[in-house]
Amino acid sequence: MSDVQKMREAQERAIIELDEPQQVRYWTDEFGIPEEELRGLIARVGPCARDVRQALGRPIHEGHQG
């Protein structure tokens, strides 16, 4: 497994911490959504990045290339 793949998997297992401003900025940029939408998704599906990505209907492999 490449380092890029390992990094992506770690990001997908990440728990999005809404009380951390830098995480909110990172994930709103990563998903291309406003903060309010991110907060709503997390309230609905939980804070796991993979679950949020799936709720957005996006492929799991999508995201920053590292």
Q: 42: which 2 tokens?
A: 């997390």
Q: What is the pLDDT of residue 59?
A: 76
14 lies in which domain range? 3-55
Does residue 55 register a pLDDT over 90?
yes
Top mean pLDDT of 22-26, 37-41, 50-54 is at 37-41
Which pLDDT tens digit goes with each residue over 3-25?
666 666 666 668 999 999 999 99
Pairwise CA distance, residues 66 & 57, whole Å? 22
Q: Does 32 fall in a domain?
A: yes
> Domain total for the chain?
1
Residue 15's SS3 state is strand
Q: Does 63 fall in a domain?
A: no
Q: What is the pLDDT of residue 58?
A: 83
Packing angle, helices 35-45 and 21-31, rounded to 10: 90
Q: What is the pLDDT of residue 11?
A: 64
Is this prediction's pTM over 0.75? no
